[in-house]
Structure 1
Amino acid sequence: MACGTCCTSGAETGDDPHWRRALWIALAVNAALFAAEIVAGVAGHSRALQADALDFLGDSANYAISLGVTGMALAWRARAALLKGATLILFGGYVLVATLWAVWHGGTPHAEVMGAVGIAALAANAGVALMLYRWRSGDANRRSVWICSRNDAIGNVAVVLAAAGVFGTGTAWPDLIVAAVMALLGISGGVQIIVQARGELSRTRQGYSAGVGC
Structure 2
Amino acid sequence: MLWVVLAINVAIFVAEFGAGVWADSTALQGDSLDSLGDALVYGLSLVVLGRSLRARAGAALVKGGIQLGFAGAVLAEVLHKLIAGSEPLPAVMAAAAGLALIANITCLALLTRFRGDDINMRSVWLCSRNDVIGNVGVLLTTVLIAWSGWRWLDLAFGAGLAVLFLRTGIEVLGTAWPQFRPRTGALSREP
TM bin (shorter chain): over 0.9
Give 2:107's aligned residue. 128
One-letter amino acid of the structure 1 residue matched with residue 61 of structure 2: L
- 1:206 is paired with a residue whose SS is coil
Instruction: Tell me the equivalent position of 2:183.
Output: 206
Following the alignment from structure 2 to structure 1, what is the Cα–Cα distance between the partners of residues 167 and 33?
16
Aligned residues: 191
Runs (4 or more) in structure 1 with deviation over 4 Å come to 207-214
Contact 1:78–1:198 (Cα < 8 Å) also in 2: yes
Q: State whether residues 207 and 213 of structure 1, in contact with CA within 8 Å, keep that contact through their aligned partners in structure 2.
A: no
Uncovered stretches (5+) of structure 2, i.e. residues with no partner: none
- Percent identity, aligned pairs only, is 41
**1:13-92 aligned within 5 A:** 22-92=1-71
Deviations 1:104-154 (A, max 9, x none): 312220000001111111111011111111122232211110110000000
Q: Aligned partners of 1:42 and 1:108: how far apart in 2?
A: 11
Distance 1:54 1:161 in 2: 19
Structure 1 portions without partners, runs of 5+: 1-21
Quote the Cα distance in structure 2 between the aligned partners of 1:59 and 1:180: 19
In the superposition, relative to structure 1, how do residues 213 and 91 fare at CA in structure 2: closer, same or farther (>3 Å)? closer
Match of 1:145 in 2: 124
Change (3 A) 1:210 1:96: closer
Report deviation, 1:60: 0.6
Tell me the C-alpha RMSD between the 2 structures.
1.9
Larger radius of gyration: 1
Distance 2:79 2:188 in 1: 51
Alignment partners' CA distance in 2, 1:211 and 1:193: 19
